[in-house]
Amino acid sequence: MKTTSLQKNRFISALLAIAFCLFGLSATAQEFPPKKTISMVVGFAAGGAADTAARIIAKKLGENIGANVVVDNKGGAGGNIAHQFAATGPTDGSTILFGSVGPLTIAPHMMKLPYDPFKDLSPITMGVNFPNVLVVNSGTGIKTFAEYIAYAKKNPKKLEYASTGPGSASHLAGELLDEMAGIETVHVPYKGGAPALQDLLGGRVAAYFSTYSTAQAYIANGQLIPLAVTGPNRLKQLPKVPTIAESGFPGFNATNWYAFVASSKVPTPILDRWNTEIVKVLKSPDVVQQLNEHGLTPMPTSRAELAKYMAKESIQWGTIIRDRKITGE
């Protein structure tokens, strides 16, 4: 009897020890913030709108949670490289992605990707949204949107426009305009807004569907001419520049956006905490002011709201891509 009782006690002690270890591991796995540098991955080169917004948000986020939050630029393939990295990277919550409309809802309809944005990535919160601005190099001699359309119609496949990569919002804005205006322009993809802008300023491409923040200094000094805005409303920073919708193409809307996502393998409690902390940052008056100065509107949401919005965008762009027979090549 004593032997049996002793064995039972040892068995119970062993179970308690295992349970304690598992609890400890679980607590460590769901520790927030993770006790390491937080990587905020951006799918475009430094200097563009995504990078600008990420750095504004990362600074405030780091201050709020008492951690080192570093922006990690992984440009290339229209942002798809960064999204693949986040989908297959660390699962402890130390890596969050400032994802974009292209890789999340456009590219999956154009090319085979090594990740599924709806299965391999989990939504955290919408980040910012904004329209793009169609700008041209002043050397083209084009001064209005009407002149741009007239030139493109008279010179099919001669007018080249830059984008931040295949399947990006700036790419699809050009495709949508070609479709609605009955014109044929040439798409030239880059690895982000900064290199696209560099070639635009150098005259190697004529036009670019740029974010306002990327182009604002060059609009101010006259090197770039803003022709039209891709969203439903005019930009308050450019009140005299019309929307494409009001310039003869009603219904045109190609609003750009960036949202926070992470690997779907990150524990739900960590994803929920990231939502809480990032939403807090996006509602901070100083962050709102800084983002607005760059033409970016903060859009904090719940995780479910972002998931619903992504699904809606995926359907919309998927239809356009199929109708236009657009590929990633």
| Residue 166 pLDDT > 90 | no
In this prediction the pTM is: 0.80
| Residue 246 pLDDT > 80 | yes
Q: Region 58-71: what's the mean pLDDT?
A: 97
pLDDT band at 26 (very low <50, low <70, confident <90, very high): very low
Rounded Cα distance between 238 and 229, Å, is 9
Helix-then-strand count for the chain, H and E: 11, 10
Centre a 10 Å sphere on the Cβ of residue 106 and count the other Cβ atoms it contains. Answer: 30
> Which CATH architecture best describes the domain 131-247?
3-Layer(aba) Sandwich (3.40)
Q: Region 256-260: what's the mean pLDDT?
A: 96
Report the top-level CATH class of 38-130+257-324.
alpha beta
Rounded Cα distance between 256 and 170, Å, is 8
| Residue 30 pLDDT > 80 | no
Centre a 10 Å sphere on the Cβ of residue 198 and count the other Cβ atoms it contains. Answer: 14
Q: Output the six-digit token pair for 84.
A: 């693949």
Radius of gyration over every alpha carbon of the chain, rounded to an integer in angstroms: 23
Percent of the chain with pLDDT over 70: 91
Q: How many CA atoms, within 13 angstroms, populate the side-chain half-sphere of residue 292?
A: 9
Of 24-28, 87-91, 146-150, give the lowest mean pLDDT range.
24-28
Centroid of chain to Cα 220: 26
| Residue 10 pLDDT > 90 | no
- Domain 38-130+257-324 and domain 131-247, same fold? Reply is yes
- Kindly list the domain boundaries of the chain, sorted by start residue: 38-130+257-324, 131-247
Rounded Cα distance between 169 and 164, Å, is 8
